[in-house]
Structure 1
Amino acid sequence: MPGDLPPALPQELIDAILDTLAAYGEEECLRQCALAHRSMLQRSQQLLFATIELEVPHFILSSNAPATPSRKLLIVLRHSPHLGNYVHELSIVEVSGPISQEQVVKHGIAREVALLDILPMLRAVKWLRITAPPRSYVGDDFIDALAMPSLLHLSLYTVTFPLYILDRFPHLRHLTCHEVHWIPATHEPRDTSAIPKVKTLTVSGKLALQFDIFLGLLAMYPPYLDNLIALDVSELLVPNFYIEQLLDRCQSSLQQLHTRYRITQPATNDIPNFAALPSLRDLAIRDITLRNDHKRGAWSWLLATLQSLRPLRRLVLMFLLDSTETITRDAAEWRRLDEILDSADIRIERVDIHANELDWMEEGTVVDAAAIAVALPCARRRMGQKLTVSTNRLPTDGVSDIIPHI
């Protein structure tokens, strides 16, 4: 229909149709709609620019290098600056790619000067993701250009970053970092009222040294974690005492914790002191491995941990079993677990048990959820429908959907 005629449909219906196209990833249709009629232009633009991913090459040709996605976006934003207000999620990914036989030079985020002009134009970004090859520093100029007053979520992956960068995001509430190389840096102290109050923190990786540096920097810089409510360390593969140090920093405010069983010899100093978390309400423990060569340590750790708990609103236990025979073989331990879950002293309102197969099991072996439920008669009688058991083969490499709000 001609672009200068009134729309034949109500604007609310037009917007709903465009939203549906966006939900199904129909970007080409949205582009056509933006050009078809003025009634569809603004909403189509908002949907097309809501999420932007910029790939930055780690190497470029030394001559006649093609324009990078960042440079192309900069041209668009300079022509139509209002489009920058529509960007709510921004991902900057440094990619290596194949190195051709032609002469190349190192590039990367630190040398992508177009980003320095783009970032100040994106004032409405609420979620920023930055990914770079391990130990890659994004550069001082890039750090200086980062100032996003609306940012709520910051996700960093394998990049090298100064911790004080968090000061640039006064409304930051959610921080995710995977094997980030945190570095100290000198900077002017900011007004404490501008310090972000991080509510949820997800830390993953297996670099104990870098995590130790992270803990040290937390002690040097402003109290970013003083208001932390939710902590996910379920994919952090470092010794337990590092986890304890992090819990000590946020023990007064922490309400939700997602952690894992770390295979270790049963010892008193390996039992987490969750009783020291007075506000803890939701606890999820993954990878409780009841395999023959680990079961004794796992049961000892789990039962001692649960006995130390304060009252909880929700407890999630994720077991890795070899078969249903585990329940018969470890009958005494399941009976003790039943007694703890039924205890009036601990008072757990809801318990969700997920029994998953070990990855190396033969195909066709299943864990019987009913058998697990039968092994917990006292807890079932007290909790009723607030005790659930599932064997839905959740992946052992990620269970973030167990507690969705973490």
Structure 2
Amino acid sequence: MPIPHLSQELIDSIIAQLRGDVQTLRKCTLVCQSFLPTAQRLLFAAVELDSSTEGTNVCTKLQTSLSLNPRLQRYIESLSFRLFWHAGNHIQVLAGALTMFPNLRSLIIRSFGTENQWIALDSSLRYALLNILNQAELVSVSVTGVQGFPLSVFMRCHQLRHISIEGVVAHSNNSHVHHFLPVSSDPNTGWLESLSGGEWESGAGSTRALVDVLTNPHSSLRLSRLRSFAAAL
């Protein structure tokens, strides 16, 4: 039952001040129905996952919650995903969970450990991550330390506005990844607003390599309206 004399707008404004205070927000979900939507939205706004065994257990619980309450799926706007390079049955759980974030606006992919070759990652997980890049709401992508990440996928991501790459050392021949690239039939053109990278010239994974990709005539993501650019010389 709503609290007397307090409008829903005021309640939402008060709860919004608790952003980042997970424990208090959890308690707010138990107060009353008028507290629940805003508290849940803040709790699920940013999600951190990883592909370790322990991380997969967390992912399984999250997937169960999202399946039982699909409304929560649209609250998730930011996903930070740490990659651990190993195979296992739990990879399918992770790949399945990555399909449950329809309103994702920010994706952060980071490697963990010394084994960080993109091609060594399980194919279902690669495809799930690449498929997220085509989601209409996604505007920001950051990739760090993933060697061999196929920069060419950004050619199809016209909705992106911000890209950051660091330590993305790609192989000179990325033909082996194209089998896993989701095909988009959307002919729209978009314009990147900010691009941040590591070394300007450090091989196929350099910032220059990404610029070359996005200046390709076939790219649906363009640089002509770029407002911010950063690269180490």
Q: Fold conserved (TM > 0.5)? A: yes
Q: CA RMSD in A?
A: 3.1
Aligned twin of 1:292: none
CA distance in 1, matches of 2:169, 2:217: 16
Question: What percentage of residue pairs aligned between the two structures are identical?
Answer: 25
Q: Mark the runs of 5 or more structure 2 residues left unpaired by the alignment.
A: none
Matched, 1:193 2:183: no
1:222 Cα deviation (Å)? 2.9
1:149 Cα deviation (Å)? 1.5
Matched, 1:39 2:26: no
Q: Is the 8 A contact 2:106 2:140 kept in 1?
A: yes
1:100-179 map, 5 Å = 106-107=86-87, 112-133=91-112, 135-137=116-118, 138-145=121-128, 146-147=131-132, 148-159=135-146, 160-166=148-154, 169-179=157-167
1:227–1:118 distance in 2 versus 1, CA, 3 Å = farther
Report the AA paired with residue 195 of structure 2: L
1:122–1:221 distance in 2 versus 1, CA, 3 Å = farther
CA distance in 2, matches of 1:36, 1:218: 50
1:180 Cα deviation (Å)? 1.2
1:190–1:121 distance in 2 versus 1, CA, 3 Å = closer
The structure with the greater share of residues assigned to strand is 1
Which segment drifts farther, 26-35 or 186-195? 186-195
CA distance in 2, matches of 1:217, 1:170: 13
Q: Is the 8 A contact 1:143 1:165 kept in 2?
A: no
Report the AA paired with residue 69 of structure 1: V
CA distance in 2, matches of 1:202, 1:119: 25
CA distance in 1, matches of 2:145, 2:217: 21
1:122–1:54 distance in 2 versus 1, CA, 3 Å = same
Report the AA paired with residue 141 of structure 2: L
1:87 Cα deviation (Å)? 0.4
1:125–1:20 distance in 2 versus 1, CA, 3 Å = same
Aligned twin of 1:282: none
CA distance in 1, matches of 2:90, 2:165: 23
1:216–1:197 distance in 2 versus 1, CA, 3 Å = closer
1:45–1:150 distance in 2 versus 1, CA, 3 Å = same
CA distance in 2, matches of 1:34, 1:172: 33
1:90 Cα deviation (Å)? 0.8
Task: Specify which structure has the bigger relative contact order, considering alpha-carbon pairs within 8 angstroms and separated by 6 or more residues.
Answer: 2
CA distance in 1, matches of 2:151, 2:12: 41
Report the AA paired with residue 150 of structure 1: E
Secondary structure, aligned partner of 1:120: coil
1:67–1:226 distance in 2 versus 1, CA, 3 Å = closer
Report the AA paired with residue 142 of structure 1: L
Q: Is the 8 A contact 1:167 1:195 kept in 2?
A: no
CA distance in 1, matches of 2:104, 2:166: 21
CA distance in 2, matches of 1:17, 1:136: 45
1:56 Cα deviation (Å)? 2.4
Q: Mark the runs of 5 or more structure 1 residues left unpaired by the alignment.
A: 97-105, 238-406
Q: Which of the numbers 8, 11, 33 marks the counterpart of 2:8?
A: 11
Matched, 1:80 2:69: yes
Secondary structure, aligned partner of 1:68: helix
1:179 Cα deviation (Å)? 1.4
Aligned twin of 1:222: 218
CA distance in 1, matches of 2:58, 2:209: 34
For this pair of structures, how many residues does the alignment match?
214
